[in-house]
Structure 1
Amino acid sequence: MKGTLSQNDAVSPVIGVVLLFAISITLATVTAGVVVAGDDALVSTTPQASFDFTYEAGASGSADLTDSGDSGALTMTHVGGDTIDASKLEVRAEPGGTVSESALGWSGDIAAGTSATVTVDADATVRLVHSTDGGSTTVATWDGDS
């Protein structure tokens, strides 16, 4: 019996080393998979851009987003930050509606200096919304009568 026990004592450390090696390989594989697959998730898809808004009462723009009441022309100018694909940017007025790049005269990329003018109610809230397959995000907001 004494000989049998001493032979089994050597099996336990070998199993421990094999299990430790298997766990290390599994963790390395999972970590590599997360780093490679998760790389896209770490990149922000929302452009970081600044817009300047200028409102002129009684004037009108290229697209009408009025609902009722006093209205005027709201000029939206990209003043800095990321260039934005015009096909992914909408102008949403509440109340009023939504217009996209064709009604605004935007095409291609919207870069610093690019502007568009819409007719909106004086008390409207206007949002520039960037849309992708993953959803939509407000890039800039103008609050009328504030």
Structure 2
Amino acid sequence: MNFKELLTEDRAVSPVIGVILMVAITVILAAVIGTFVLGLGDQVSESAPQASFSFDFSAGGGNGFNGGSSDYVNLTHEGGETLEKSSIEVDGSDGGVNQSSPFPNATISAGDGASYNEVNSGETIRVIWTNPAGGSTNTIARATAPQ
């Protein structure tokens, strides 16, 4: 066989390219269909909202942040996305935080605030968002009470 003939011979190129393209299309279609059938498509689109909160810790009693029931935190939504009140929870690492003044509306937007009392010294306060579609939770803000 001549070397020039080998370089100009292209009889098998077209079927090989066709098979590669068909396999690639099949794999892509299977991945897309599998994602939506298994419900992964819904979870990809639901990410935690972007919101900023400020924490103002205050000692209401004469004993400062020593575990007194009058120690509190004022939580204020500073900016970002508007949140549904039903999907937000405020939790303390010691488990003793109680809401004393709730957010005023069904939605929480910039400037809205709430108060939580029974904050202990060094306790970490978290704002937790729960996905309304179910399942996942995300901490969108956190702060620690002063010692």
TM-score range, shorter chain: 0.5 to 0.7
Q: Classify the secondary structure of the residue corresponding to 1:90.
A: strand
CA contact (8 A) 1:75 1:116 kept: yes
Q: Classify the secondary structure of the residue corresponding to 1:139.
A: strand
Give the aligned partner of residue 29 of structure 1: 29
| CA distances 1:48-95 after superposition (whole Å, capped 9, x unpaired) | 111111122116xxxxxxx94474121000000111111111110121
Unaligned runs of 5+ residues in structure 2 are: 1-11
Partners of 1:123 and 1:137 lie apart in 2 by: 22
Give the aligned partner of residue 74 of structure 1: 73
Q: 1:111 to 1:24 in 2, by over 3 A?
A: same
Which structure shows the bigger proportion of residues in strand conformation? 1
CA contact (8 A) 1:92 1:128 kept: yes
Partners of 2:78 and 2:14 lie apart in 1 by: 66
Q: How many residues are matched? A: 128
Residue 124 in 1 paired to residue 126 in 2?
Answer: no
CA-CA distance at 1:126 after TM superposition: 0.6
* TM-score, scaled relative to structure 2: 0.65
* TM-score, scaled relative to structure 1: 0.66
Give the aligned partner of residue 110 of structure 1: 108
Partners of 1:127 and 1:18 lie apart in 2 by: 56
- Identical columns (%): 27
Unaligned runs of 5+ residues in structure 1 are: 1-11, 60-66
Residue 56 in 1 paired to residue 58 in 2?
Answer: yes
RMSD (CA atoms)? 3.6
CA contact (8 A) 2:101 2:114 kept: no
CA contact (8 A) 2:91 2:127 kept: yes
Q: 1:50 to 1:21 in 2, by over 3 A?
A: closer
Q: Classify the secondary structure of the residue corresponding to 2:110.
A: coil
> Which segment drifts farther, 105-114 or 49-58?
105-114
Partners of 2:121 and 2:14 lie apart in 1 by: 79
What amino acid is the match of 1:145?
P
Partners of 1:90 and 1:55 lie apart in 2 by: 18
Q: Classify the secondary structure of the residue corresponding to 1:26.
A: helix
Partners of 1:57 and 1:98 lie apart in 2 by: 14
Give the aligned partner of residue 19 of structure 1: 19
Give the aligned partner of residue 140 of structure 1: 141
| CA distances 1:25-66 after superposition (whole Å, capped 9, x unpaired) | 41452365478776544435201111111122116xxxxxxx
